[in-house]
A and B are shown apart, each in its own frame.
Chain A
Amino acid sequence: MNALTAVKEEHVVSIDASGVTGSIPGTKYVAQVMIDSLSK
């Protein structure tokens, strides 16, 4: 079993480093990626 998805198989969302900088643009970017990936 995949080590990461063994922890939680429901959703794993991949982002780049700007998603964890804490900035407003980084936060907006995270939101966009999450919304799009969770919609699938």
Chain B
Amino acid sequence: MKKIIGLLLSVVMLTDILAGCAGTPADNSGTSTPENSPAVTYTSSTEESTYPRTYTDSRGKEIVFETQPTKVISTDWSITESLFIMDYPPVASSLVEMMSGWESMKSYFEAYHVEELGGGMSTVNLEKMIELQPDLILTTAYTKEDVIEQYEKIAPVAVLSREAFVEREMGIREIGKIIGIEQTVNEILGKEKEQLVQYKEQLSEQLGDKTVMFLSESGKVISFYYGNVALHYDTEKGLGLHAPKSLPTEVKTENITLEGLSEYNPDVIVISSSEEYLKELEKNSV
């Protein structure tokens, strides 16, 4: 038991160490894994950045851009992630404080200054948005219509579909159409996929047929994911991890008890949790 607790704590410590190493690509040199950092430097192509252009968003609304949008505001963290991948950072985003603490995003937030818009999709700071004078606001179909109407008084709004939220590659390609870098997006996605293939091969060697399940703890409630982490299981585009056979395949998050977890019987558990909760589990017998 002590060995397992030691493993847990060592993994937490590892995460802390990674936090200190995630700042720049150079910081990751010498490790056995590919770098997790901005991989492509954006260069505008005259051919692909032809304007004016008309984009039809998920509402069917046509938006005419006379010039390439350069001051983009993101009201959704998934859009902010996508803009970072393109090295086309937003001038402002919701949830900057939360995202800048994520290991996967730290290097981007260190590289780019992004104004904080506060809360979630429906509670962003409108005064700050007005102040920044954006030429494009990107949001998703999860945003309420009355909120979108408020955004449209500030700048043109492109609403990405819910499918684009789930299928991130689709979302990235849609944003690429809007900001006129379709070809660059192809190159970026190609490089990202190459890295994922490397990871998939390494993980395949380490795990073989072992099954993996992803959990998240919030307020001492444990949820599990499938569709949200579909890329982790995707054998063509993602890491090709093996899910427990009985795990639901639809896109959802569901609360689960520890007893319920044992029914899925995963070989490896990957959990997003506070260190305090992990320590509490140490004392919790089943």
Which residues of A are interface residues toward B (Cβ below 8 A)? 1-40
Contacts and interface: CB of A to CB of B under 8 A. Distances in A.
Interface in B21-43: 31-34, 36
Contacts of B14: 33, 36-37
Contact of A15 (B199, B202, B231, B271): B271
Interface residues of B, number: 74
B262 A7 contact: yes
Given A20-B229, A25-B36, A25-B104, A3 B286 contact: yes
Given A17-B102, A24-B85, A36-B14, A4 B270 contact: no
Closest 4 CB pairs of A and B: A18-B102, A31-B199, A29-B104, A25-B104
Contact of A39 (B192, B206, B261, B270): B206
A31 B192 CA distance: 13
B126 interface: no
21 contacts: A2-B282, A7-B261, A8-B269, A14-B271, A14-B275, A15-B271, A20-B216, A20-B225, A20-B228, A23-B82, A25-B84, A27-B231, A28-B36, A29-B104, A30-B229, A31-B200, A33-B103, A34-B268, A37-B14, A38-B207, A39-B32
Secondary structure at the A interface, as helix, strand, loop or mixed, is helix
Interface string B210-225: 1010101000000001
Interface in B1-21: 1, 4-5, 7-8, 10-12, 14-15, 18
Q: Which of A4, A20, A34, A39 has the most CB of B within 10 A?
A: A4
Contact of B104 (A1, A26, A34, A36): A26
A3 B217 CA distance: 14
